[in-house]
Amino acid sequence: MKILVTVGSGGFDELIKAADTYLNFSEASVMCQIGKDGYRPNNHPFVEFSSEFSSLWQTADVVVTHGGAATVFELLEAGKKLVVVPNTYRLDSHQLDLAEHLQQQQLALVCRDLTTLKDCVHKAMTQTFKPYERQPFFMADDILHYFGIPTS
């Protein structure tokens, strides 16, 4: 079993510290993808974010991720089992909103308390999630019209 912990291109040292502290499995390996100049785990191998990031998540069985929309939707489209940890240290709360939606739609497991991270990962290993179906976005003309830009 392979577990990837990712903070995407931003920083979320608290998540990496929690993974370093709580994710100790005899049945699974853990890899951390840290932010630039972020906390470096002592108990797990790690890499900084790079354009080759997709090769890491492609082989992961479970991905623990911050609640950034770009990362979450890329992983959902790939059919990955997710544990989403909203970054509540941010000034805005959009990650909480996205996490709530994912949980309501049964697309991912949400971990709101970093001390329960190991339990959340164990649960995600065995849980069946609804498959994500990408919804095409067709409101481009409406948005352009709103800004007074003619459309074809």
- Using CA atoms in the order 53, 61, 67, 69, what is the torsion angle rounded to 10 degrees? 60
* Per-residue confidence (pLDDT) for residue 137, from 0 to 100: 64
Phi-psi region of 123 (alpha: psi -120 to 50; beta: other; left: phi over 0): alpha
- The answer on pLDDT for 121 being more than 70 is yes
Q: Which of 36, 2, 47, 42 is closest to 19 using CA atoms?
A: 42
- pLDDT averaged over every residue in the chain: 90
Q: How far apart are CA 4 and CA 60, in angstroms?
A: 6
* Per-residue confidence (pLDDT) for residue 141, from 0 to 100: 75
Cβ(129)–Cβ(108) below 8 Å = yes
Percent of the chain past pLDDT 70, that is, above it, reads 96
Q: What is the DSSP string of 43-89?
A: SS-EEE--TTHHHHHHT-SEEEEE--HHHHHHHHHTT-EEEEE--TT
Q: How far is CA 119 from the centre of its chain?
A: 17
pLDDT tens digits, 62-118: 999 999 988 999 999 999 999 999 988 777 778 898 999 999 999 999 999 999 999
* Per-residue confidence (pLDDT) for residue 64, from 0 to 100: 98
Mean pLDDT of 15-31: 94
- The answer on pLDDT for 140 being more than 90 is no
* Per-residue confidence (pLDDT) for residue 12, from 0 to 100: 93
Strand order in the sheet with 46-48: 46-48, 29-34, 2-6, 62-66, 81-85, 109-110
Give the global pTM: 0.86
Cβ(38)–Cβ(55) below 8 Å = no
Binned at pLDDT 50, 70 and 90, residue 139 comes out as low
Binned at pLDDT 50, 70 and 90, residue 21 comes out as very high
Binned at pLDDT 50, 70 and 90, residue 152 comes out as low
